[in-house]
Amino acid sequence: MLTFQINFVRYMQGVRTLGADQKLFIKDLCFGKVPVRIYQPKAPSSSQRRGVMFFHGGGWTLGSVGKITNTHENLCRSLARESDSVVVSVGYRLAPEHKYPAAYEDCLNATIHFMRNTEHYGVDPARISVCGDSAGGNLAAAVSQTLAGRSDLPKLRAQILIYPHLQALDFNLPSYQQNQGVPLLFRERAAFFALQYLNGDTSHMEEVLEGSHIPIDIKLNYKKWVSPDNIPEKFKARGYKPYVLLDCPTVVYETMKRFCEPNLSPLLAEDAVIQQLPESFILTCEFDVLRDDGLLYKKRLEDNGVRVTWYHLEDGFHGIMNFSNSDWMSFSSGERGLNNIVNFLKSL
């Protein structure tokens, strides 16, 4: 049923597109083999602009620059217009046809290409940021970690993570329990999308949801980073029931072990990598299963001396940013989130 929904949503994404923008040049290109859509302000600039690599959400299975959803199109246009930045939206390959690490590799390669060709777009190479929502936030965090160790490229100026999906070890954190049935991302769908990206095999979804897909010794090793103990108590007020650690059959772990790779679960990166990361902006929503991923990463970054700007939407839900500047539905909290992202970009 969920696989059918993926195909249906992909079809609907191509039904309606937005027209020209009076303030932006919008052009579809390819960076190597990766399709991208570039949004450049038309107004002349006396200096080089900021550059923003944008990785769209959609559970690694939905969205593209050819049939990019109107919601992400609106978001990219708004970011470019309001922050006076050049935004590059990346049409990475989608799961399950293209499994991990295809999406990550496309986003990384597109970012490197842009870094090496900024002069063609009037962008300051020292002011390039990566940005993404949901699965796109996962990709932005993974790309940021990879580039942190590169001495042959300019350093990223910032990473902007909008309700990011950052780990697949624990689907029983407080936010998963509290918001398991809250649209737009249900707990079961979060696990489904992660499995689609990993290997396209959802036969062990029950083990993933109950936590028996990773051996206890490995989970205990990562408990210092992935644990309800690291979530502030106020976020457990709506209810949280500690769960018993379950062991994992070897045959299950063999198909799941890549969930422990930082390029798929950036929350699991070593401190030596986290310490090198650029200034960060993290947006979380109270009514979102991924809320605690963002909170845990915020703590990891701050513990390692990385400057973090955190904005929490108390009345927000997963996907709310997709309704920013929408011509049919919008939410004031989503507009506040967009304004905070724009203000952060302007400060860079």
As a whole number of angstroms, the distance between CA 9 and CA 5 comes to 6
The catalytic residues are 134, 288, 318
User: Chain-centre distance of CA 194, in angstroms?
Assistant: 12
Q: Is 31 helix (H, G, I), strand (E, B) or coil?
A: strand
Residue with tokens 């920013």: 324
Residue 100: DSSP 8-state = T
Query: Is residue 294 packed enough to be buried (19+ CB in 10 Å), middle (13-18) or exposed (0-12)?
Result: buried
Across the strands, what pairs with 280?
159, 308
* CA-based max dimension of the chain: 61
Is-contact 80 121, C-beta < 8 A?
no
Q: DSSP strand E in 202-307: where?
A: 279-287
Handedness of CA 308, 137, 141, 343 (dihedral sign): negative
CB 72 within 8 A of CB 89: yes
**Cis geometry, peptide bond prior to residue 96 (ω within 30 degrees of 0):** yes
On whether the CB atoms of residues 130 and 53 are closer than 8 A, the answer is yes
